[in-house]
C-alpha cells in the first residue's frame, strides 16, 4: 500500500511538471524561464555542438540552424513521456494488476478517448483527463508555432534590411561611411526611428518566448545579436563622435537597445551593471576606437575635433550594453560580428554550457577585457 501511495504522488508530480512546463514555456506572457525547457535546451546544445568543435563557419551555421527548431519539437515528446509515465504510476496505484498493465492502460489512454480502464477505481475519469492533457500539450505547441514564427519574421525583416546599410556582417563603420557617401550623414536619423520600435518588439517577444533567442537568421552571416550591436555602436558613434547637432532619436534608440538586451540577458543570468559609470571599462579598446575614427576621417565624415572627448562619450554610451551584447553573442553562438561576437572565442570546454561561457564573456567585458583562450581545466584566464 505504501509503495502505491508513493507511485500515485510521483505520477501526479510528473503530470504536473509536464503541464506546468508547457504553460511556462509558451503561455505565460511574462518572461518565465522553465527549468525543464532549459534542461532540454542545454542537453540538445551538447548534442549539436560536440561534432562542431572544429567545424568550419559555414558547416557550423548550417547545422546550428536546426538547433532551436529540433529542440522545440523535442519538448512535446518529453512532456508526453512524462504524462505517460505519470499516469502509469497513477493507474498502478489505483489498482492495476501490475506495472505492465498500468503502462498499457496509460499508453492506450494517451491519445485515445474511451480506453477500457473500467476495472480501476476512477479509471474512466483518469483516462479522460490523460487524453485531454496529452492533446492539450500537443495543441499548445502547434498553436504557438505561428506566433513564434511571426515574431521571428518581424525580427528578421529589419536584420535583413540592415545589410543594405551596414554590410554583412554588419559594421557601424560601414553604415556611417555609406550614409555619408550615398545619402548624406544627416539622413542617418531614419535608422534610429526604425530600430527603436524593433528593440521594443524584440524585448517583448524574446522575453515571452525564450526559444526565439536561439533561432538563427536565414543567411549564415546574419544574426539579430550582431545586428543589434552594429546599430547600437553606430548610434553611439553618431552621438559621441560625429560633428552634427544632438540627435535625441539616436539616444532613445540606444536606451531602447540596452534595455532590450539587458532584459533578455537577465533571463539567462548573464551579469551586467544596472547603473554603470561612464568611466567603467568596456571590451572595445581605445585603439579600436581610434582605428574607426581614422577610417571615418579618411572618407570625409564630419567628426568632432576633440578625439579624447569623443572616446569618453562613446565609452559612456557603450558601457550600457557592452557586457550583455558580448554575453548574448556567446550564448547564441553568433556568427562573426564587429565589436560583438569577435570579443570572445567560439570554442569552449566540452562540458561548459553556453550560459556559463556567456557569463564568463560578460564578466570579462565588464572588466574591460575580451575572453582569452580557455585553459585545459575549463577556466578562463584572468576571469574570476
Tell me, yes or no, whether 244 and 323 share the same domain: yes
* Residues 176, 120 share a domain: no
Report if residue 19 sits inside a domain.
Answer: yes
Q: In this structure, are 138 and 210 located in the same domain? A: no
Torsion of CA 127, 129, 134, 135, to 10 degrees: 110
Q: Please state the separation of Cα 174 from the chain's center in Å.
A: 26
Q: Which pLDDT score is estimated for 370?
A: 66
Same domain, 189 and 138: no
Could you tell me if 209 and 323 lie in one domain? yes
> For residue 272, is it within any domain?
yes
Residue where a domain stops, chosen among 142, 177, 200: 142
Residue 149 lies in a domain: no
Q: Are residues 60 and 178 in the same domain?
A: no
336 and 192 share one domain: yes
pLDDT, residue 374, reads 39
List Cα–Cα distances, 5 to 71, 122, 130, 194, 370, in angstroms: 34, 15, 19, 59, 55
Q: Look up the domain containing 280 and give its range.
A: 167-366
Question: 249 and 138 share a domain?
Answer: no
Q: Is residue 158 part of a domain?
A: no
Domain boundary among 142, 159, 193: 142
For residue 377, being part of any structural domain is answered with: no
Residue 335, SS3?
coil
Nearest to 346 by CA among 325, 332, 366, 367: 332
pLDDT along the chain (384 residues), means of 10: 83 90 79 80 85 76 89 89 89 81 82 66 77 83 84 93 90 93 86 95 91 91 94 96 92 96 94 91 93 94 94 96 94 89 70 84 83 41 29
CA distance from start to end of the chain = 52
Flag whether 49 is in a domain: yes
Residues 264 and 178 in one domain: yes
Closest to 80 measured CA to CA, from 123, 133, 13:
133
Distance CA 99, CA 4 (A): 11
Sign of torsion, CA 14 131 69 363?
negative
Distance from C-alpha of 83 to C-alpha of 19, rounded to nearest angstrom: 9
On the CB side of 61, how many CA atoms lie within 13 Å of its CA? 14
CA dist 58 and 55 (Å) reads 8
The count of structural domains within the chain is: 2
Contacts of 132 (CB under 8 A, 6+ apart): none
Sign of CA dihedral 320, 325, 328, 330: negative
375 found inside a domain: no
- Residue 134 covered by a domain: yes
Shared domain check, 125 and 28? yes
92 plus 172 within the same structural domain:
no
Amino acid at each position: 500500500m505504501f509503495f502505491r501511495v508513493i507511485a500515485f504522488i510521483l505520477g501526479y508530480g510528473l503530470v504536473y511538471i509536464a503541464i506546468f512546463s508547457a504553460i511556462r514555456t509558451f503561455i505565460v506572457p511574462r518572461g518565465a524561464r522553465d527549468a525543464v525547457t532549459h534542461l532540454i535546451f542545454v542537453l540538445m546544445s551538447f548534442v549539436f555542438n560536440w561534432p562542431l568543435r572544429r567545424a568550419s563557419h559555414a558547416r557550423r551555421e548550417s547545422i546550428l540552424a536546426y538547433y532551436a527548431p529540433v529542440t522545440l519539437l523535442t519538448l512535446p515528446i518529453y512532456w508526453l513521456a512524462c504524462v505517460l509515465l505519470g499516469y502509469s504510476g497513477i493507474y498502478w496505484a489505483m489498482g492495476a494488476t501490475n506495472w505492465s498493465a498500468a503502462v498499457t492502460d496509460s499508453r492506450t489512454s494517451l491519445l485515445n478517448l474511451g480506453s477500457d480502464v473500467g476495472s480501476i477505481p476512477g479509471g474512466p475519469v483518469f483516462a479522460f483527463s490523460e487524453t485531454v492533457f496529452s492533446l492539450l500539450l500537443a495543441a499548445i505547441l502547434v498553436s504557438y508555432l505561428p506566433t513564434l514564427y511571426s515574431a521571428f519574421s518581424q525580427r528578421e525583416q529589419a536584420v535583413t534590411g540592415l545589410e543594405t546599410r551596414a554590410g554583412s556582417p554588419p559594421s557601424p563603420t560601414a553604415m556611417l561611411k555609406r550614409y555619408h557617401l550615398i545619402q548624406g550623414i544627416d539622413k542617418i536619423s531614419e535608422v534610429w526611428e526604425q530600430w527603436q520600435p524593433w528593440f521594443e518588439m524584440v524585448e517583448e517577444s524574446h522575453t515571452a518566448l525564450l526559444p526565439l533567442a536561439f533561432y538563427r537568421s536565414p543567411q549564415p552571416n546574419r544574426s539579430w545579436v550582431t545586428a543589434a550591436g552594429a546599430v547600437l555602436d553606430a548610434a553611439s558613434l553618431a552621438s559621441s563622435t560625429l560633428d552634427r547637432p544632438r540627435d535625441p532619436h539616436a539616444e532613445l534608440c540606444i536606451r531602447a537597445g540596452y534595455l532590450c538586451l539587458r532584459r533578455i540577458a537577465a533571463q539567462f543570468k548573464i551579469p551586467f551593471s544596472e547603473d554603470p559609470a561612464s568611466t567603467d571599462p568596456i571590451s572595445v579598446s581605445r585603439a579600436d576606437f581610434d582605428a574607426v575614427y581614422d577610417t571615418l576621417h579618411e572618407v570625409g565624415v564630419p567628426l568632432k575635433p576633440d578625439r579624447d572627448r569623443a572616446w569618453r562619450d562613446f565609452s559612456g554610451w557603450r558601457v550600457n550594453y557592452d557586457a550583455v551584447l558580448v554575453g548574448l553573442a556567446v550564448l547564441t553562438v553568433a556568427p562573426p560580428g564587429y565589436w560583438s561576437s569577435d570579443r570572445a572565442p567560439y570554442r569552449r570546454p566540452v562540458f561548459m554550457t553556453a550560459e556559463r561561457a556567456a557569463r564568463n564573456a560578460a564578466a570579462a567585458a565588464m572588466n574591460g577585457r575580451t575572453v582569452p583562450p580557455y585553459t585545459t581545466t575549463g577556466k578562463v584566464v584572468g576571469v574570476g
